[in-house]
A and B are shown apart, each in its own frame.
Chain A
């Protein structure tokens, strides 16, 4: 069974530039999560989708971050404009709707903002 796919794996940009990350969840997983993991900290939930609807985006900095999940499958997370403090690993995870306890994580995208 294929796991959660993310791309790119690494990205370096300058502050004030924009960047986008892509995630393809495990087939059949209706719930998709984006986490931000700053070095030395645990992952922090940014946004959670159920199919293509947002369940929780309370910790998403909406002035610069946006996410979408068209057609309820792939998802894109965008940052515009980026700040130095956005340097982190961005993790995507997915699960069945009634199995929030069983989240499967992708390898992450490491973003460096200079």
Chain B
């Protein structure tokens, strides 16, 4: 069975940094593209970032480009999101999601999310 478990969410001040992790199990982690998607309180879904299975390609939403960095550790089966220069508008539940293939596939498995709160 496929499991995705996010961690690292916390309360942080504006301008601060945080690293989210997503532990993956139950599938060949190196084969599938992985995403981060966020949801602000009471709002809709916002795609944040994607990384290819081989970690050779990444992409970001304009709202986080230059501040967030997605990465993956193949030996640890873990996805990361390094979040820098955090803003109040980054407050959200952050979900990691696995695509059903590599390069432009739908997200067929999701974690339960981790909450990031940015506030002074």
- B and A form one assembly: no
Q: Which residues of A contact B (CB under 8 A)?
A: none
